[in-house]
Chain A
Amino acid sequence: QKEVEQNSGPLSVPEGAIASLNCTYSDRGSQSFFWYRQYSGKSPELIMFIYSNGDKEDGRFTAQLNKASQYVSLLIRDSQPSDSATYLCAVMGDYKLSFGAGTTVTVRA
């Protein structure tokens, strides 16, 4: 069974700060990794995907992948109140996504 673990929340950060989210996965053969954002009462929205070791930046978001350590992270720079949501780490295997439990982020104005 593929397991995905996320750092327990909730995570509260002041506006303008960096929010750091961590995720580990158990299946060493995993190739594709995703971060989704889910606002309360809404469906998940894709923020980032990463397939190669290293960093991937998209606007205020940076995903980091270290396959040797089986570790994925998401940094949110210059956090805004609109970033307040639950962030889901997901790992794909056999076309299916295995999700972490999610980390709820609250950005304080």
Chain B
Amino acid sequence: GAVVSQHPSWVICKSGTSVKIECRSLDFQATTMFWYRQFPKQSLMLMATSNEGSKATYEQGVEKDKFLINHASLTLSTLTVTSAHPEDSSFYICSALRGPAGAGETQYFGPGTRLLVL
């Protein structure tokens, strides 16, 4: 159990276009999902927390108008990179929170989406 999928796994787009990435929890419901970004040889950087039925919470320095997050259901969160530019090229990874409240909650990661903006 605890499988998280992402789609697409790879995307190449032209500068100025928008790209949508889907994150799904396949065998459990997740009221909370997270979006990370990872540049080569660097640590994961949390971008935002996605909550089902409410607005996402963005980390400091992350532009909410550029990275649109929608958590439409208990199994689906989407990240849309609007007007993508080459500097947005990165590895985008989502995770879903599973488990009982308090100690016991665990984040399970999706396989990631590699974005290349030309």
Interface positions of A (Cβ within 8 A of B): 31-32, 34, 36, 42-46, 49, 51, 88, 92, 95-97, 99, 101-102
Contacts and interface: CB of A to CB of B under 8 A. Distances in A.
A34 B107 CA distance: 9
B43 A101 contact: yes
Q: For the complex, would chain A's binding face be called helix, strand, loop or mixed by DSSP majority? A: strand
Nearest to A101: B43
Q: For the complex, would chain B's binding face be called helix, strand, loop or mixed by DSSP majority? A: strand
Contact of B106 (A42, A49, A88): A49
Contacts of A97: 34, 46, 95, 107
B44 interface: yes
Contact of B109 (A45, A49, A92): A45
Contacts of B44: 44, 88, 99
B111 A42 contact: yes
Chain B interface size band reads 20 to 34
Contacts of A32: 103-106
A26 B62 CA distance: 25
Contacts of A43: 91, 93, 109-112
Interface in B38-68: 43-44, 46, 49
Contacts of A99: 43-44
